[in-house]
Structures are given as structure tokens and as C-alpha cells.
Copies of this chain bind each other. A is one copy, B any other.
């Protein structure tokens, strides 16, 4: 950790934005995540930084002369650190910037928070080994974890056009489903609608086509991390996914949280990364000392389910699962970037890499209902007595995450919220 970073991460730092100093606040001055917002009448998105319950308009604060998030994300490491330093100093208790920056603050509750940037290409990985094993058991009982899993960071391309900002809703998808004993499929509303608890990794610095990114350089290409809910239609998936992978079972909607938590802010929460005893070492291109000593990131995550009845009754919902990135992931962020580019594939600023479902080793740490209910067979009972196998119309799912410990100030990711509307069956 370099000196500049150490200073912006000092847990004693307080902000003149009072809400940022509250215990449990996701956005203390040590976090400083980037996102996009707009107010009524704005012609486009503005770049903001979350601080407490406020958002700082970066251009109004004089910290950029543009509102192009991709341009900001492509900045060099030095430029990014200088911007972080300027934000930290200006927002600090006693800063001479306070009076100049106060007019650049808006309440987060008073603005619309968008996707953190426009996404060119979205890739979904599959780093959750407990998820891969359990889903494998359900889709392929005789062959749960395929032989390539411990060698290849499995990934596939997803759809950018249907990424949604937190707070959006979507219609339950229609699709072809086929009962195991049916002679043929039918078009029907998805009956096994699920969530996937993921992190979203946003690329900053691009690599040119044909030029792989080494594992040593990989993290320099990552701008920040969000929460990500990759809604999944399990019945559609089971029928369509062979031989080319999931398609309509995934691309109807995916929800992204508004704030990109930077790699700089995550610095105190880095941990050694290792594989279980007896597993093969990764191939040399996916291995480095740094990846072993600090490849993991200790992010704690939780899934909240709020049914329509709960919403009507003013009940915020139940936490139905808690998991941890470090416990769930078989591959690191750096390994994903390096593997993705080893063939010369170009990543661009704003590209999104989903981690894959981050289930921990126990049932209570399931990142999907498919796992939590064992394919819908063991329904969960909620605190108000309702039960769920898969999602019902009107259900809202909220993902949350935070990092704490290691003598650092706790930081959070905000929330990733989406609501299921009934299927449109008229078509």
C-alpha cells in the first residue's frame, strides 16, 4: 500500500459531510465510490461521488471538466490516485473547500442514480465453486463439477442492452420450457425465477485487441466493483442451455448497483488467496506472488427478500442469505482479467465482468434460490409466514455488501434492488 493511499484510508478521517461519519454508513470518506446521477431537467448523466447520504457532483466541484465516465475510468493509476487524494482532502473535516463544494452536493434521495457507466460488453464468469458444484448436481447429477473448472475461469458473454440500474423492475420473462416428462416444450411464463448474488467488476484502462494483459498488470485495468444481480430463469435455462450456454434465461434483465467502489478503497480488505489442499496450481499465466498474497478481497454480502405483502405492510424484508466473496470465489479478479485477454480479446473502459454467483460453502450462504431451496424442493419460510421456492410477482430483492475489519473504516457498496412484475402474456 503506498503512502498516498494509506492517508486516504486512515480510519480516523472524518468528513464535513456529517452523514458520512455515522457508524455503519456505506459511504464514509474512506470509500469515495463513483457513479452517475441526474436530476429532473438534466439532459445527460453527471459523474458523482457518494459521501454519506449525499452525492458530490464532480464537475461542479471543479474536479473534472467533463461528464464522460469512460474517460474518467480510463485515467492512469496516478491520475486516479490524484483525484482520490483531492476528493479526500476536500471532503475532510476542516477543509478549506467546504464552502466551495457545498453547492456541489445533492441528497442521494433527491437524484436518480443510473448505471454507473455505459457498458459496452458484459461477461459473466462462474467463480463460485460452491455454486458451480451445487448447480452442476442439479443440472447434471452424474457430472456436477466439470473437469475444466479448476483450470479455466469459466465465463460467457451476456447482454449489455438489458442491464438495469438499481431500483428498476422487469417483467417475469416468457420462454420455452419443457417438463421432463412432456413430449414437447411450451411457451409460458418462467416458473422458476431466481436471483444470482454477484459482484460486478468494471474495467477502466482498456487493452488493445491482440494484446493480452499479464496477471501482474491485471488489476491496473480494473476501475471498481459493484453489486450485481443476474436474474435467471431456471426452467428456460435448463431447456435452452445446451450446447452453447444460457441465453434468454439470463438476458431479460440484470441489475447493477450505482456505486463503483474503487480498488483503492478496497485496499485494506485484501487477503491471501489460496486453493484447497490437493487442488492443482493454476497455470503459470494465472499465477503470481501478488495473486497468492493479496488476490482475495474480503467482501461480505447479503440477500434481502421483500415480498409484495411485506412492502404493503412496511416490512423491509428478510435477509435470506449471507455470503462472502473471499470464501465463495475460486478465481481472483486479476485472474479473470488475465484469462479474458489471454487470447487477445480487447476489454474497453466500462466493460463489466460479473463474478458469477457467490455462494459460500453452506446452504445458508447460497447466492441463489436454486441452491437455497434445492431446486425449489425445500421452500424457505419468511418471518411473516410466507414461503418461497422461487421468486413470485411483486417480490423485491436487495443485495448489499460491505467490507470491515483489518483496523480499517467499514465501507459499503450501497444496494442493488430490483422488483419482479408479472409476465406480459398478451403477446
Residues of A whose CB lies within 8 Å of any CB of B are 120-121, 123-124, 126, 136, 139-140, 146, 148, 151-152, 154-162, 164, 170-171, 173-176, 178, 184-187, 190, 209-212, 214, 233, 236, 239-249, 251-253, 280, 283-285, 339-340, 342-348, 351, 424, 427
Contacts and interface: CB of A to CB of B under 8 A. Distances in A.
A194 to B, nearest CB: 14
A159 to B, nearest CB: 6
A160 B244 contact: no
A424 B210 contact: yes
Contacts of A121: 159-161
Contact of A186 (B176, B236, B283, B340): B283
A140 B96 CA distance: 69
30 contacts: A120-B160, A121-B159, A123-B159, A124-B244, A126-B244, A146-B242, A146-B243, A148-B240, A148-B242, A152-B176, A152-B239, A154-B240, A154-B243, A155-B244, A156-B156, A156-B245, A160-B160, A161-B347, A162-B209, A162-B345, A164-B209, A173-B343, A174-B342, A174-B344, A175-B342, A186-B283, A241-B245, A245-B246, A285-B427, A342-B427
Contacts of A164: 209
A348 B161 contact: yes
Contact of A243 (B124, B140, B253): B140
Q: Report, nearest first, the 4 A-B pairs whose CB atoms are least far apart.
A: A245-B245, A173-B343, A157-B157, A156-B244
A239 B148 contact: yes
A120 to B, nearest CB: 6
Contacts of A209: 161-162, 164, 170, 252-253
Contact of A342 (B161, B187, B212): B187
A185 B285 CA distance: 12
Contact of A173 (B157, B242, B344): B344
A348 B163 CA distance: 13
A346 B176 contact: no
A375 to B, nearest CB: 16
B283 A252 contact: no
Contact of A248 (B211, B343, B347): B343
A190 B152 CA distance: 15
Contacts of A126: 244
Nearest to A348: B161
Contacts of A424: 210-212, 344
